[in-house]
Structure 1
């Protein structure tokens, strides 16, 4: 039974560590895009998304330890990052002419 508790800990820790570079990617992508593309795509402004993804990245780094502290903040930061990657990023890239942009 102890192995299952240990496995749970390592899976959660791995997810938390993987979330950090994903958050960094979202922030850097938002940073590299044109400001007018965000409003043209019908999304929040570039500065708003830089704030959201920047704070999310900060929270992901701060809460990357054990799941016991800051789990709600980690979850909110992960959701914000994934919303940017799944919803905002494709819309902004499409407005700027399609093609792959990291």
Structure 2
């Protein structure tokens, strides 16, 4: 029984660290594009995305655990940014 609990806690730790990395990457990436890029891509403004992703990062660090409702909401927001907003911004700007 002890091995099962250790495996479960290890799995949750790995999931938490991966989601923390995703949120950190999304937040830092959102800061790299100009505010005009967000407008040109017809997406939420840069401050709005920075606040959403920054709050998600802060909630994960403070509350911990990948299964809380706020963590799930902010994880979805980070994935939306990475799947929709980031490609739209990248297609507008050449680095």
Report the TM range for the smaller structure's normalisation. 0.7 to 0.9
Unaligned segments of structure 1, at least 5 residues: none
Q: Alignment partner of 2:90: what SS?
A: helix
Residues 73-84 of structure 1 aligned to structure 2 (within 5 Å)? 73-84=70-81
1:16-95 pair list within 5 angstroms: 16-65=16-65, 71-95=68-92
Corresponding residue SS for 1:86: helix
Residue of structure 2 equivalent to 1:12 = 12
TM-score, normalised to structure 1's length? 0.80
Between structures 1 and 2, the one with greater helix share: 2
**For structure 2, which runs of at least 5 residues remain unmatched after alignment?**
none
- Normalising by structure 2, we get a TM-score of 0.85
